[in-house]
Structure formats: structure tokens, C-alpha cells
Chains A and B, each alone.
Chain A
Amino acid sequence: MTNAITIRSATRTYGRTRALDDVTFAVPEHSICGLLGRNGAGKTTIMSIIAGQDRESSGRVEVLGHTPFEHAATLSQISFVRDNQRYPDDYRLHHVLRIAPDFAPNWSAEVAGELVAAFRIPSKTQIKKLSRGQLSSVGIVLGLASRAPVTLLDEPYLGLDVTARGLFHQALIRDVESQPRTVLLSTHLIEESASLFDRVVIMDRGRVVVDSDSDDARQLAFVMSGTTDAVDRLVAGRPVLRRQRIGGLASVTVEGGADDGIRAQAAARGVQLAAASLQELVAAHGESEPEIVQEKAGVRA
């Protein structure tokens, strides 16, 4: 399968800050890839480089076979709307809808019209005065109606109500089916978006910690829950990603798959095992070091 996006050992530093550190992953053509991780993990930075809006300090980034920075033909094939997208002074919705087709060769006025109506975006209000959710809706219209072969969506859900999020999912799936394209989508609403993803890339502190097929990602870690003593005995010697404890109960996210041996031991000690969900995997990798976290609730039953 051809890769639409290929990143090899990309590093990006801003002064003394290392925003990306030896990032390597690829996104196959016509797939939807979830880019996940905590705030500050480097998601927007790598998207910005993929979109040619920034440049890697070292390494190599290729989109559709070319380095995107200042490559006009490639940039015309990419759509990237930031979560905090800035617009020219006094812009209203019609300004955006009027100019976007001049830059996006595959622009669909039909899709734009449908989305504007579905999201109920005010046409007469200045964009800078729109609510957070309405601003996200404008970004989604730009991102989807451009029908760019490489579409980068950075936190498209910010501020969207539940109805609008559902509409976005439907529109994305329907339009990608009719006009196949490569989508890289970053979000913190992981459970809600998980079903969209063919692949997932999880980043933490500028590094890729998981790069996997979406189905395989569910086998990358498991969660053990039970009495602290029993859980501690079972996890001994295993790579713990996250540990939570409340009173005499513990819940531990362990890297790797659960084999028959540990299943038998867990059953014997009354410890429950479950495959870590994508959200649990992201949360676990987001904790800087395995440590005991006291919580009032949240221990798995």
C-alpha cells in the first residue's frame, strides 16, 4: 500500500524546546489515522510540518512523494485547519466560502452548503465573534469541502455539541467513502472517534509511543484490577504504563498482551483482566512515569 505521508526521524526544536524528537511514522493512502496524545505532545507541530506550514529541524517529511515546504503542487493537495485557526480581519463566512475554491482544486460547494446548513453557522456574524463550536464548524467546512487528497483535522471537535459531533462523523464517513482521501485527525475525544480510525499514532513529549493498526492497538496493553496486593504480585516484572490505587484496590495498565499464563494467575487471585481501550492506552502513555495515583473514583470493577 502506498503511503500518503511518510515521516522519518523528524525532529523540531524551538530554541531549547524539543517539540518533536525523532518522529517516524507513515499514513497509508486513503486511510483515516488518529493522532492522539496529551496537550503538548507534538500533534499540532507534526501536522504543521506535514502541511508545509513549518519545517523539520532534521529528518525528512514527505507528502504524496514530495517535501511539502514551499512545494506549491503538494500544498494544493493538502488541507490543514488549525484548532486556533486565524482569519483575516472582519472575515465572515461568505468570505471563506468565496475564496477557498480558488485554492482547493477539488472544492465541493455542495458539501460546503450542506455542512453550513447542518452546523447552523451564522452567515452575518464576524468569524472572530463566533462561539468556539461555531469556529470549529467553519474549520470542518474548510477541511471537508476542500476534498483535499491529504486532509489534516486538528481538534475538529473543540466546542462542538453532541449533535454537531454526530453530524461531523456522518459527513466525514460519507464523503471519504465517495471521495477517498487520507485523513489525519487529532482529538481528545478518543472513545467517540475510535471507530473512525484505520490507524492510530500516539505521541507523548514529542515522540511516537504507539504506531499501529487500529485493531492491533487494542492488543498493546491490558488493565488488571483487583486488590492491591494481588495486582502487585501479578505485575511484578512487567512493564507498567499506569498505576492507580484507591484504598486497598488497584488498577494497573500493563504494556503488552495478556497471555494464558497471566490469565490463569489472575483468575486464581480474583484479579480482573481486560484489554485496554484506546482511551486507556493514550491516558497510560500520557503519564510521564509509572506512579501511583490516588483517585476518589475510577478504579475498574
Chain B
Amino acid sequence: MSAIIPTVKLHLNKRETTFGVPLYITAVVALVSILISLVFWRSGSQPGTTGWIEGSQANPGILYALVGFLAYLGVQSVATTFPFALTLGATRRAFTGGTLLWAAIASAYLTAVFAVLTMVEIATEHWFVGFYIFDVYVLGAGDLTRLIPIVFLGALTIFTIGGVFGASWVRFGARGPQLIAVVLAVAIVLTLIILIPYAASIFAAFQLWWLAVAAVVAITLSSTGTWLLLRPAVVR
């Protein structure tokens, strides 16, 4: 009897946290974006002009606002749920698999919400008044073929990175996340040291799919790391 599906249900047990809170955050950011747009409007900028459109589409707020919450959700999906999952009878293997599946479901949900809202925004010519909330560069500038992988892989990456930090806390206590942070920082600096002479040519050759590959690598490494950290972890 595998506990993968029960583990998914365990994560979805607090439905509002998975499905409701991201919507609330999105709504608040949308409201703030509208208020900011109103400030620009009142200060003389005109909706529909080139400057207005470029300025509005450069606003990454809708994405940044969610990152913190998704990271928290990823951390708590392991750190505070794992001990209870063990109590209920889940194996570590099933817990890791179920947590990844839940993260994929939550990411797909967010992707669907963003895709629908983007389509509505475009269909209403930006909410009838030229406000740009979802049709922004960081979400693919209204191109669903870009928005879908950006939101899905982005959310899943954040969930799984949060999860591996949570797992390191379960395994090593406060030293775990510190250790991962230090290792990551050193890895990034070493990568920069190696690649910085070639930065210009790398930027010139850059392709968007590189980010997708990087996200898949991060998701794979984080999920594997979570499993490796949880397997010997002792809950006390």
C-alpha cells in the first residue's frame, strides 16, 4: 500500500493554503499594480501609449510577490508535515514522491489561473482601461507558450528548493539550511569565476530554453536532495 496519494491529500488538507492564499496574494498585487497605474495616469501618462505599455509590462511585481509565499509553502511542506506524515504511516519514499506530486499539482493550478487571467486581460484589452497585470515581460508578455512553462517550472522550482531547505532542517536542525545556503553561494561564486570571461558571448547566445533546462535540473537536484536528507532523518 503506497502512501503517495494519501501524502498528496495530506498536503491538500489545508485547501485554502494551497488554492486560496496564492489567489489572495495575486489579487492584492493586482490591486497595487492598478493603484500604481492610477498614480502614473494622474501624473500625465496616457494608457495605450508606447511609454505606458513598456513601463507597465516591465513590472514584475505579480511574480515576485508570490515567490516568498511559494518558498514558505515548499519549506513547510516538508519541515512541519514530514513528522506528521511519519506518524500517519507514510514511508519516506512515499512522502517525497507525494510531496513532489503535490508541488506539481499546485504549480499546474497556478499556471492555469495565470493563463486564464492573462487571456481575460488580453481579451478585455487590459481590463478595458489599459492596465497591465499579467501581460508582462516576466510572464512572457501575453504569449501563453512562454507563460505556461515560466509559471509551472518557476513555481515547481521554488516549491522543491523550499522542500530541500525544509528537509535539511529536519535532518540537521538550523545548521542544515545554513549549510545548503553556503554550498549554493560557493557554487555560484565558483561558476561566476569560471564563466565571467565568457559572459559577453554567453549572453549573446542565450536562449530562453536554457532557463527551462536549468529549472528541470534544479527540480531534479532538489527532489533527490530532499529524499537523501529525509531517508536517514530522525524525528524527535
A and B from one complex: yes
Which residue of B1, B3, B76, B235 contacts A53 across the interface (Cβ within 8 Å)? B235
Residue of A nearest to B88 (CB): A103
Contact A102 B10 (CB under 8 A): yes
The answer to whether B80 and A88 touch across the interface, beta carbons within 8 angstroms, is: yes
B171 contacts partner chain A, Cβ-Cβ < 8 Å: no
Closest Cβ of chain B to A236, distance in Å, is 45
Is A87 a contact of B84 with CB atoms below 8 Å?
Answer: yes
What is the minimal beta-carbon distance from A172 to any residue of chain B, in angstroms? 19
CB of B167 closer than 8 Å to a CB of A: no
A91 proximity list for chain B (CB < 8 A): 14, 84
> How far is B80's CA from A14's CA once the two chains are assembled, in angstroms?
23
Decide if B91 touches A88 in the complex (CB within 8 Å).
Answer: no
Closest chain-B Cβ to A61's Cβ sits at a distance in Å of 15
Complex Cα spacing A76 to B87, Å: 10
Query: Is B235 touching A98 in the complex (CB atoms < 8 A)?
Result: no
Interface size of B by Cβ–Cβ distance < 8 Å?
A: 26
Interface string of A107-149 (1 = CB under 8 A from B): 0000000000000000000000000000000000010000000
With a cutoff of 8 Å between Cβ atoms, the chain B residues found around residue A105 in the complex are 1
CB <8 Å contact, B84 and A75: no
* Chain B residues near A85 (CB-CB < 8 A): 83-84, 87
With A72-B1, A90-B17 as known contacts, state yes or no: A103 contacts B80, CB within 8 Å: no
Chain A residue contacts of B10, Cβ below 8 A: 88, 99, 102
Chain B: minimal CB distance from A125 (Å): 16
Q: CB-CB contacts of B14-29 with A at 8 A, as 1s and 0s?
A: 1001000000000000
The winner among A80, A81, A98, A99 for most chain B CB atoms within 10 A is A99
Report the separation of the CA atoms of residues A107 and B165 in the bound assembly, to the nearest whole angstrom. 33
Interface centre among B5, B76, B89, B235, by most chain A C-beta atoms within 10 angstroms, is B89
Query: Which residues of the other chain, B, contact A90 by a CB distance below 8 angstroms?
Result: 14, 17
A14 to B173, CA, bound (A): 15
A130 smallest CB distance to B (angstroms): 15
Residues of B within 8 A of A75 (CB): 3, 89-91
Would you call A6 an interface residue if the criterion is a C-beta within 8 Å of the partner chain's C-beta atoms? no
Kindly state whether residue A16 has any CB partner on chain B within 8 Å: no
Residue of A nearest to B77 (CB): A88
Residues of A within 8 A of B88 (CB): 99-100, 102-104
Complex contact A80–B81 (CB within 8 A): no
Do B13 and A72 have beta carbons less than 8 Å apart?
no
Task: Output the nearest chain B residue to A73 by Cβ-Cβ distance.
Answer: B1
Question: In the assembled complex, how far is the CB of residue B221 from the closest CB belonging to chain A, in whole angstroms?
Answer: 22
- Closest chain B CB from A214 CB (angstroms): 28
Closest to A98 in B: B13
Say whether A89 contacts B76, CB under 8 Å: yes
Nearest A residue to B81 via CB reads A88
Select from chain A the residue with minimum beta-carbon distance to B86: A53
A: contact size bracket: 20 to 34
Asked if A229 lies at the interface with its beta carbon under 8 angstroms from chain B, I say no
Residues on A with beta carbons closer than 8 Å to the beta carbon of B1: 72-73, 76, 105
B6 at interface by CB-CB < 8 Å: yes
- Scan residues 84-135 of chain B and give those whose CB is less than 8 A from a CB of chain A: 84, 86-94
Residue of A nearest to B85 (CB): A103
Q: Which residues of A contact B89 (CB under 8 A)?
A: 75-76, 78-79, 103-104
Interface status of A86 (Cβ within 8 A of chain B): yes
Q: How far is the CA of A54 from the CA of B91 in the complex (A)?
A: 11
A205 within 8 A of B: no
Question: A8 within 8 Å of B by Cβ?
Answer: no
Indicate if the CB atoms of A99 and B87 lie closer than 8 Å: no
CA distance A79 to B88 in the complex (A): 7
* Chain A residues near B91 (CB-CB < 8 A): 52, 70-72, 75
B234 within 8 A of A: yes
Contact B87 A82 (CB under 8 A): yes
Q: In the complex, what's the smallest C-beta–C-beta distance from A199 to chain B, in angstroms?
A: 24
Asked if A95 lies at the interface with its beta carbon under 8 angstroms from chain B, I say: yes
CB interface residues, A 49-82, toward B, < 8 Å: 51-54, 70-73, 75-76, 78-82
Given A52-B86, A88-B13, list of 8 further CB < 8 A pairs?
A48-B234, A48-B235, A51-B86, A53-B234, A70-B93, A86-B84, A99-B88, A103-B88
Closest 10 CB pairs between A and B?
Answer: A103-B88, A102-B6, A86-B83, A75-B89, A88-B81, A70-B91, A103-B89, A99-B13, A88-B80, A53-B86
Q: Residues of B at under 8 Å CB distance from A?
A: 1-3, 5-6, 9-10, 13-14, 17, 76, 80-81, 83-84, 86-94, 234-235
* Cβ contacts A to B, 14 pairs, < 8 Å: A53-B86, A54-B235, A70-B93, A76-B1, A78-B89, A81-B87, A82-B87, A87-B80, A88-B14, A95-B13, A99-B9, A102-B5, A102-B88, A103-B90
